Chains A and B, each alone.
Chain A
Amino acid sequence: GIQVEQSPPDLILQEGANSTLRCNFSDSVNNLQWFHQNPWGQLINLFYIPSGTKQNGRLSATTVATERYSLLYISSSQTTDSGVYFCAVERNQGGKLIFGQGTELSVKP
């Protein structure tokens, strides 16, 4: 099956710093989503981005489908950005999402 690798596994930032999270996947995909899982366990959609670039406030994401990777950029980080960031991919429309192991982000005040 398709493999999803996220890096780094852990990241500690000072408030205000910028960061880049990476997601590599082993096969072509029709769906790629980035999620933020907050400390209470809620998975929150950040982006649906099987290709291209999107921005939402301080967050942006880019997926280069031909090279099988996606990047999530967090600018001017805040303590509320802390949590685990998951990349998840799906090979076929309507299939199952395969999640990476996540990047655990801690933003210190």
Chain B
Amino acid sequence: EAGVVQSPRYKIIEKKQPVAFWCNPISGHNTLYWYRQNLGQGPELLIRYENEEAVDDSQLPKDRFSAERLKGVDSTLKIQPAELGDSAVYLCASSGGGTEETQYFGPGTRLLVL
């Protein structure tokens, strides 16, 4: 079974430029998460989707970040415009619901804003 797929794996951009990350969750998983991990810290949740609906976006900086999950499968996270402080690893995870809410993580996208 394929795991969570993310692309690109690495991205280097200049500040004020836009950037987008893509995630394809494990097949059949209804819940999708975007996390951000700063250097030396644990991941922090940005947004959680149940199917197409964003059910927790309280930590998403909405002035510059946006996300969508059309058709309840893959998802895109966008930053526009990017700032120096956005340099981090952006991780996507998915879970299948049910009684065991194990989250499975993708390899992440390493973003460097210059």
Chain B associates with chain A? yes
- Measured CB to CB, the residues of A under 8 A from B are 30-31, 33, 35, 40-45, 48, 86, 88, 90, 93-97, 99-102
Given contacts A97-B45, A102-B42, are A33 and B108 in contact (CB under 8 A)?
no
Residues of chain A within 8 A of B91, CB atoms compared: 43
Residues of chain A within 8 A of B101, CB atoms compared: 30-31, 48, 90, 93-94
CA distance A20 to B101 in the complex (A): 25
CA distance A87 to B81 in the complex (A): 33
Given contacts A31-B101, A33-B103, A41-B89, are A96 and B42 in contact (CB under 8 A)?
no
**Between A and B, how many residue pairs show CB distances below 8 Å?**
54
- Check if B27 is an interface residue, CB within 8 A of chain A: no
Q: Shortest beta-carbon distance, A24 to chain B, in Å?
A: 14
CA distance A80 to B28 in the complex (A): 31
- Check if B14 is an interface residue, CB within 8 A of chain A: no
Checking B89, B97, B100, B103 against A97 with a beta-carbon cut-off of 8 angstroms, the contacting residue is B103
Residues of chain B within 8 A of A90, CB atoms compared: 101
- Check if B50 is an interface residue, CB within 8 A of chain A: yes
Once the chains bind, are B103 and A42 in contact (CB under 8 Å)?
A: no
Once the chains bind, are B45 and A48 in contact (CB under 8 Å)?
A: no
Checking A35, A41, A45 against B107 with a beta-carbon cut-off of 8 angstroms, the contacting residue is A41
